[in-house]
Chains A and B, each alone.
Chain A
Amino acid sequence: MQLTLHETFFAVLGGLVLLFATATLLGGWLQTRAVDAVKLAWIGQLNARIRASWAIVLLFAIAFAVGSGALVLTFAIASFFALREFVALTPTKPSDHWALVLAFYVVIPLQYALVYTGWHGMYAVLIPVYVFLVLPVVMALKQDMERYLDRVAKVQWGLMICVFCVSHAPAIAQLEIAGYEGRSALLLLYFLLVLQLSELLAVIASAAIGRTPLRSDPNKSREGVLLGGVGATLIGTALWWMTPFTWWQAALMSAAIVVAGFMGGLVLASVKRSLGARDWYDGAQLSRGVLDRLDALSFAAPVFFHLTWYFFTD
């Protein structure tokens, strides 16, 4: 039996609303019962992730009502705030002004416009090739050679993570897969679900069984991450019916999402620390935690996009 697109959407969104409503109530109940500081911090982390999950449901409800342009626009805005956060923690100089103007006001809109039109041949190379070549030229024109390569590299890296990688999430919804026409938005929802569940399950499992805390994220333990990853992969496999994959393909894809997502968290935690912030959201409020929520996605989106594009489109 093949459900229609509308039916699938409503079934999935309805399921999610139930799931997250339960999680929200449970999280709130835990918060009122917690007594010690360590537990409270953990529940705070959990509730922040549950709120992020609601954002996914809301996003797709809106996208369902007004079309996939809303998805592209939302991720464009997320890129903007993520890059703003990244630049705030990166020591740029006044002579980098034009390079940053270019990054914010030209590269972000252009990249997402290309994603929206589905011009894969161009949005796949815009930042890694053209911006990579143009940015050092713009910065060289300023004749400020102090830490020149350093500054060029940091702006380019910020663009790669915050714009290039993140933009591959809405690009999933623009893929044209034979036998799956008009349903690619479901595939994006699937991707976000597996990713978000691996986060949620890892945090819950880490608190439940504890053991060795991760150096990159003290709220998770090695065992918890492993358990969360396995759980998310199993759920991803069970959800094969909303994807163009067979069940074993869905299992491999989910595993790829989980592993790439974990690497994203690891790498961005290291970057964060090397830039001197304990958290993208720090006490001095130089950031607002957008990158904290996007770290796993920034690595998993291009990987999942590319695997799907390579194996499932002509």
Chain B
Amino acid sequence: MPPIVWLVRTLVGAYPHWVGSAPSANQRIYFANHTSHLDTVVLWAALPESLRANTRPVAAKDYWGGGGLRTQIARDELNVVMIDRAREDPEADPLDPLRDALEHGFSLIIFPEGTRSAQPLPGPFKSGLYHLAVEFPHVELIPVYIENLHRSMPKGALLPVPIICTVRFGAPIALREGETKEQFLERARNAVIALAQ
């Protein structure tokens, strides 16, 4: 077990709870609520070891790419896909690195709210998930609800407090025929919220 997984398990448990789907090697996009910097590691650690190798979390370049230990973990352990939230190059599409990873057969972990919220339930989703659903119809979209992590490490806190967190994996959703972007994103968000109950 890599040290980062061991550390996460000790502190917050990160116990997986497969409610609507089972672990599978199918190509997937896991999308989850985002309340803490630990989310990325916790969701990744909750996956079975065999799936971790080809599942890459998508993480903000401005937080994980700053250098030092954090970047080292992001690059060597998690193999993250860096997304440019700040759009340093206005011409480039921030989704391009994600497309690239999907084309190479990786599964992804994304947080469609785009930023951490102070509430346990997710806010409105950004449109990236929709575009990926349109372009990669064969990839399963798995809603995930991470419970309790906002209590372990609330926004602004430096140290995580040990609290048992569970990670709930729901049933896959897919883009319906004739569904608008707004309808789809709202349905995706509700799928995550439904797992909170």
Using a CB–CB cutoff of 8 Å, the interface residues on chain A facing chain B are 80, 83-85, 87-88, 92, 94, 97, 100-101, 104-105, 284-288
Contacts and interface: CB of A to CB of B under 8 A. Distances in A.
B159 A88 contact: no
A288 B162 contact: no
Contact of A97 (B17, B154, B165): B154
Contacts of B157: 94, 97
Interface residues of B, number: 16
25 contacts: A83-B162, A84-B13, A84-B162, A84-B163, A84-B164, A87-B161, A87-B162, A88-B164, A88-B165, A94-B151, A97-B154, A100-B161, A100-B163, A101-B159, A101-B161, A104-B161, A284-B17, A285-B13, A285-B15, A285-B166, A286-B164, A286-B166, A288-B13, A288-B15, A288-B164
Given A94-B157, A285-B17, 10 more contacts: A84-B164, A85-B164, A87-B161, A94-B151, A94-B154, A97-B161, A104-B162, A285-B13, A285-B166, A286-B166
A80 B166 CA distance: 18
Contacts of B118: 94
Nearest to B154: A94
B161 A285 contact: no
A94 B155 CA distance: 9
A101 B163 CA distance: 11
Contacts of B164: 84-85, 88, 285-288
A87 B151 CA distance: 10
Contacts, number: 44
A188 B121 CA distance: 47
B159 A92 contact: no
Nearest to A97: B157
B148 interface: yes
Contacts of B15: 285, 288
A153 B148 CA distance: 21
A170 to B, nearest CB: 20
A94 B148 contact: no
Interface in B141-177: 148, 150-151, 154, 157, 159, 161-166
Interface of B: 13, 15, 17, 118, 148, 150-151, 154, 157, 159, 161-166
Given A88-B148, A97-B161, A101-B161, A284 B166 contact: yes
Contacts of A284: 17, 166
A287 B166 CA distance: 10
Q: Which of A92, A97, A287, A288 has the most CB of B within 10 A?
A: A97
B83 to A, nearest CB: 27
Contacts of A83: 162
A284 B18 CA distance: 10
A47 B165 CA distance: 27
Contacts of A87: 161-163
Nearest to A104: B162
A132 B49 CA distance: 43
Contacts of A104: 161-162
A280 B95 CA distance: 43
A88 B148 CA distance: 8
Nearest to A98: B157
A287 B148 CA distance: 12
B166 to A, nearest CB: 5
A73 B60 CA distance: 39
A284 B154 CA distance: 22
A101 B11 CA distance: 12
Contacts of B151: 92, 94
B59 to A, nearest CB: 23
Contacts of B163: 84, 87-88, 100
B117 to A, nearest CB: 12
Q: Which of B17, B148, B161 has the most CB of A within 10 A?
A: B161
Contacts of A97: 154, 157, 161
Q: Which of A88, A94, A101 has the most CB of B within 10 A?
A: A88
A25 to B, nearest CB: 31
The list of the 7 closest CB pairs from A to B, nearest first, reads A94-B154, A88-B164, A100-B161, A84-B162, A285-B15, A88-B163, A97-B157
A156 to B, nearest CB: 16
A287 B147 CA distance: 13
A286 B164 CA distance: 6
Nearest to A94: B154
